[in-house]
Amino acid sequence: MTHASADRVQTLRTRLRPGKRVLIVGAGISGLSAAYLLKQSCPEAELCVIDRAPRAGGVIQSERTREGLLLETGPDSLVTWKPEAMSLLGQLGLDQRTVVGAERRSWVKLRDRFAPMPDGLQGTLPPSPSAVLRGSLFSYAGKLRMACEPCVPARRDGLEESVQDFVTRRFGAEALDRLVAPLLGGIYACDPAELSARAVLGSYVAQEHEYGSIARAMAHQRRAPRQPGASTRPPVISLDDGMALLTSRLCEELGGVLQLGTAAAQLSRDRRGQLRVTTERGHSLAADAVILACPPGEASRLLRPLAPEAASELGAIDSSSVLHVQLAWPADACPSALKASGYVVAPSAGGALKACTFSSRKWPNRAPSSQITFRCFMRDTELDDAHAVHLAVSSLQSDLQLSAAPSFVHVTRLPAVLPRYRVGHLERVQRIASLLAATPEIQLAGNAYLGPGIPDCIRSAQRAVAPILHALREQCHGHCSARELCGTGTEDSLV
């Protein structure tokens, strides 16, 4: 779906014959966004959103403790260069609730020292050779190898590479270990040797194909005149009272359509061919269309009776778990030089942590001035709570010379929440879309298909909603046809 057609889905309205029901399984950001878009586009449609969890929002949860600390369970921010989230924030009246990072500098932990991230970093590779040469992150040999990138022949055979193969081929092993792997590790939680370069670093793969070199492509972009109306927003923002403000506002807009604590047990068709979702409590919910905005494993289980081949492909998308420990120290126990948003850890450096966010340094309104809060992402997600806390505390005490014991401890476990975008992922997603093309009244949405971030999930919701409206197009009337409303058709689903 183009950005223009996404706008049409969000802003134009069509009318459905009363009684048409769309059922959404999953009340995370994807499911809530899909329900909101449907409500805006088709006010007469009957919506129902079910989720096994007692609270909506999925992994996006924000909690203010009695100590005055604002804790984020899931993502603490979103990127602004992907327009879907910013557009939704504007529609919900939340664009005035955004906040910019109080401290943008971040560091990489190497074997023997900390080094600052290159200046101007927005993606996973430095924006210019000078940013690499000026910094201390890379050795002289590593800088020389990266400087040779324009001389590396472009790969033209069309075969897919892993992130590890792509980055080391173009920039060398040091670029992978000290920059790309640490940055991607907390997003995809997958070995770079298994991650799909096309799915994860797609823009860089396209730049190599078009320009023959990433450095030449970046130089071309720097020389290009600034487009009129180009965004001047900071690349990353948060919300002043936590990211759950977004999902809470969506729930307010949706009203009483949510049924929480309701798990989907089966998806089937009755004798008339109508879709039915049976809950674990035995209730049968009829629907004219269904959006599965749940994890790929659950979507696979639900789809198996109706689309076994698509279900098998979905079942092959496995997911990683997340374990993080949130800690607070009195501000006077922290060194005054602690001026950063956090650090990531190079794989070669080892240790118990993959990364640490200095939450109250990164965003305003996260803690009283007397406290500094940290979120430690553990490398081993199978640790018990006590061991995880011990390793997190000892790591920070060693890395940051923190004195005394923490004043606050909180452990969060998120099982199987980060889909692994393995080599062949985009081809698998395309196969799933093709297998479901004959049943446009069943759509998928979530972080397992187009990307794991909040804007990606909103985009997946947009792409799920458009074919649903097309599947119900015979019920549309008035001057706005379903094709005008939703773009080109069911080929917009998933990919």
This prediction's pTM: 0.90
Q: What are the backbone angles phi and psi of residue 345, rounded to the nearest 5°?
A: -115, 125
pLDDT of residue 494: 65
CA pair distance 299, 82, nearest whole angstrom: 26
Kindly tell me the sign of the dihedral angle through the C-alpha atoms of 11, 14, 15, 21: negative
Extract the tokens encoding 262.
Answer: 């309701």
For the chain, give percent helix, strand, coil, nearest 5: 40, 20, 40
pLDDT of residue 37: 96
In the predicted model, is pLDDT for residue 447 greater than 80? yes
CA pair distance 191, 184, nearest whole angstrom: 9
In the predicted model, is pLDDT for residue 369 greater than 60? yes
- Residue 266, beta-bridge partner list: 278
Compute the average pLDDT of residues 120-131.
70
pLDDT of residue 135: 85
Helix H or strand E segment including 276: strand 275-279
Residue 302, SS3 per DSSP: helix
- Residue found under tokens 């075969």: 159
pLDDT tens-digit series, residues 34-53:
999 999 988 888 999 999 99
Pairing of strands 114-116, 258-260: unpaired
pLDDT of residue 224: 76
Within 8 A by CB and 6+ apart from 125, the residues are: 171, 175, 179, 180, 204, 214
Nearest to 194 by CA among 204, 206, 185: 185
pLDDT tens-digit series, residues 233-288:
888 999 999 999 999 999 999 989 999 999 999 999 999 999 999 999 999 999 99
In this structure, how many other beta carbons lie within 10 angstroms of the beta carbon of residue 472? 21
CB burial readout 272-305, b (16+ within 10 A) else e: eeebebebeeeeebebbbbbbbbbbbbbbbbbbe
Nearest to 168 by CA among 187, 200, 142: 142
For 424, which DSSP code?
Answer: T
Nearest to 85 by CA among 140, 147, 36: 36
Q: Confirm if 161 and 422 have CB atoms less than 8 A apart.
A: no
- Residue found under tokens 């959103």: 49
In the predicted model, is pLDDT for residue 111 greater than 60? yes
CA angle 194–464–24, rounded 5-degree value: 100
CA pair distance 346, 354, nearest whole angstrom: 8
Q: Confirm if 238 and 98 have CB atoms less than 8 A apart.
A: yes
pLDDT of residue 15: 46
